[in-house]
Homo-oligomer: A and B are copies of this chain.
Amino acid sequence: MPEVYAARRERLRDRFSVGGSATALVSRPANVRYLAGAAPQDAVLLVGTDEDVLLCTGPPDDEFIDGRPDEAVRLQVVSGGDPALAGADLAAAQGADSLAVEEHHLTVARHRALAHVAPRLRLTGLGGAVEQLRLVKDEDEIALLRIGAEIVDQALSELLESILVGRTERHLALELERRLIDHGADGPAFTTSVGTGPNSGRPGHRPTDRRVEEGDFLSVCLGATYRGYRCEIGRTFVIGTSPADWQIELYDLVFAAQRAGRQALAPGAACRDVDRAARQVLDSAGYGGGLAPSTGHGVGLEIDEDPQLAPTAMGKLDACVPVTVEPGVHLPGRGGVRIDDTLVVRPEADGGPELLTITTKELLAL
């Protein structure tokens, strides 16, 4: 659907005064992909005065979201050299007098080189303009996230049917990633995290050679990329026949926090209030000190994008914004619990938040 990309570029022109003799150079890969339908390696997109040009160092054939380039974007292969510099050259040749760049993505050195290549162009800042456009998803984007969520649910459910005791975190993570691919994912959305025993519940834990033991908490966090869109799920299980009392207590607490966060999701809700809903459950049980700085974040073409659900976050949620809700507690030396879902903010009238990751959140003893 190349029209989608053309419409997005129009919105960028309309809302951020790119047009006339003002041009923009988009360099952040997810932003390039959002606006052009493809982000081949090192690609930049010139949103120009008379045409839009995708400049890259190689052919983009297997990188297109829907398998087709946006025909309204001309493709220019720059062999040897920085496509951004070629883009600035081109903007100057189109008669532009300014070029807005992504200062939060371009390095100081590249920015200086741009100024050198096209000295007559005034370099301005595009800010997070494209990121803002990306916040609210259309139903086609949400459909891709939904498929990604089905894939992570399937991969996880198959793992749970296998024997876990004695296997290492690394092998479990690899097996999950293989199953993601088996079920049609482009690949994992991020490095799969599997934590056992004392490693369980640690945010961002990198799998080690520790083996699953009876009585362990086992926490898993994995994500799938499906046609560019990334979603995630996190669950915690107990290994063995019956969980210990402290495990049940901690699990119930994190579950209550995660539910409170989910229930706070609504169009118009302040991001910090969603965070607070989840955080205060853990806080009031005395776990406030060691918590992660956020309890959730947006997902889409990147696995961690705006909005942030954090105490200092600004802004409110809109309908059709997909986010994670993922509070957790980790007790050093003992382990912990994380529960993580991907949901889409929906109005009450449409049934409230849409849960994409539907694997049960009961405490399973495996």
Contact = CB atoms under 8 A, between A and B. Distances in A.
Interface residues of A, number: 33
Contact of A107 (B79, B103, B312): B103
A203 B111 CA distance: 29
A20 interface: no
A181 B178 CA distance: 13
A178 B171 CA distance: 8
Contact of A177 (B79, B101, B111, B174): B174
Contacts of A208: 62
A58 interface: yes
Contact of A181 (B79, B109, B112, B170): B170
Contacts of A170: 181
A323 B355 CA distance: 49
Contacts of A204: 41, 58
7 contacts: A41-B204, A57-B293, A62-B206, A80-B310, A103-B109, A104-B107, A106-B108
Interface in A201-232: 203-206, 208
Contacts of A181: 170-171, 174
A105 interface: yes
Contacts of A312: 80
A125 B112 CA distance: 12
A90 B259 CA distance: 41
Contacts of A310: 80
Give 6 closest A-B pairs by Cβ, nearest first. Answer: A103-B108, A104-B109, A103-B109, A80-B293, A108-B111, A174-B178
